[in-house]
């Protein structure tokens, strides 16, 4: 699974799952654009790790929830990398996975839902819209969107977050249907709780233990566990796969 000569844009790649995905692509010799929002130092650390892994990388700051910044991001990636082959939409609105202190439905405002929609569907929409002309020009490309196994198994009702991720699945499948004839594939990766990440830091140990006990593989996903499936869906190995959701949760969701 070699990505030599290919340019890969990973949004929200300064930490956690995005950083692991960036490093994994670099290990397969890709040129990786490491998008970040605020932490330039963390993004540069990911860039260094990518180069140490055998690929190349550069960091690009942008708030992908803003259409103009998403367009600038994609253009900067193409200007610096010369092309765009793979887009991984990993950025999302911050969310703490704490089942004991979650906000119940009756206390939620519509603004909370809207914030999650903007962070998940809005960000993917803006970046895909900017990337499409570059994919269309070469009649090929792969988009992988990060969702969640909560869309099929809402074991904890994180209402706004899970609703937004469910909408991102619908967005992805519609896009896959429309872009397939153009040679562009669109798929989703749906992890369960991934630990350690900034979001899962709020998940208390006893709940993590309960979740592991209910998981057939008896552990939680690590960021690196998510990276491999992303690379698979971006590669020619999945060349006849589009519009699918690949669950990466140790068997919690079986379909």
Q: Give tens-digit pLDDT for 18-27.
A: 999 999 999 9
In a domain, 2, yes or no: no
Is there a domain that residue 254 lies in? no
Question: Which CATH number characterizes residue 142's domain?
Answer: 3.40.50.720
Total of domains in the chain: 1
Question: pTM surpassing 0.85?
Answer: yes
Q: What pLDDT, on the 0 to 100 scale, is given for residue 77?
A: 98
Higher-confidence residue of 195 and 9: namely 9
Within a domain: residue 52? yes
- The answer to whether residue 230 sits within a structural domain is yes
The answer to whether position 196 is within a domain reads: yes
Host domain of residue 26: 7-248
Q: Is residue 255 part of a domain?
A: no
Q: Is the pLDDT of residue 190 over 70?
A: yes
Tell me the average pLDDT of the chain.
94
pLDDT at 186: 98
- Is 195 an annotated catalytic residue? no
User: Looking at the predicted structure, is the pLDDT value of residue 208 above 70?
Assistant: yes
| Residue 1 placed within a domain | no
Mean pLDDT of 89-113: 87
Q: What is the pLDDT of residue 45?
A: 98
Q: Inform me whether the pLDDT recorded for 153 exceeds 80.
A: yes
Tally Cβ neighbours within 10 Å of residue 104: 8
Burial 177-214 (b: 16+ CB within 10 A, else e): eebeeeebbbbbbbbbbbbebebbeebeeeebeebeee
Catalytic one of 36, 158, 161, 195:
161
**Would residue 165 count as lying in a domain?**
yes
């Amino acid at each position: 699974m070699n990505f030599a000569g290919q340019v890969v844009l990973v949004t929200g790649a300064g930490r956690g799952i995005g950083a692991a995905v960036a490093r994994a692509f670099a290990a397969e010799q890709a040129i990786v654009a490491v998008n970040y929002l605020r932490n330039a130092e963390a993004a540069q650390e990911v860039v260094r790790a990518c180069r140490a892994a055998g690929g190349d990388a550069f960091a690009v700051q942008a708030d992908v929830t803003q259409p103009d910044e998403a367009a600038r991001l994609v253009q900067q990636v193409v200007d610096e990398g010369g092309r765009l082959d793979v887009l991984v939409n990993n950025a999302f609105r911050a969310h703490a996975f704490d089942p004991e202190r979650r906000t119940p439905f009756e206390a939620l405002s519509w603004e909370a839902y809207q914030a999650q929609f903007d962070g998940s569907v809005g960000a993917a929409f803006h970046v895909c819209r900017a990337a499409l002309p570059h994919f269309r020009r070469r009649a090929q490309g792969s988009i992988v969107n990060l969702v969640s196994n909560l869309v099929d198994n809402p074991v904890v009702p994180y209402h706004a977050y899970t609703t937004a991720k469910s909408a991102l699945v619908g967005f992805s499948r519609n896009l896959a249907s429309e872009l397939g004839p153009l040679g562009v594939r669109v798929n989703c990766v749906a992890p369960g709780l991934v630990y350690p990440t900034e979001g899962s830091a709020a998940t208390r140990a006893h709940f993590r233990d309960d979740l592991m006990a209910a998981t057939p593989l008896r552990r939680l996903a690590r960021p690196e566990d998510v990276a491999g499936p992303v690379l698979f869906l971006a590669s020619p190995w999945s060349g006849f796969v589009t519009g699918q959701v690949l669950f990466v949760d140790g068997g919690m969701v079986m379909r």
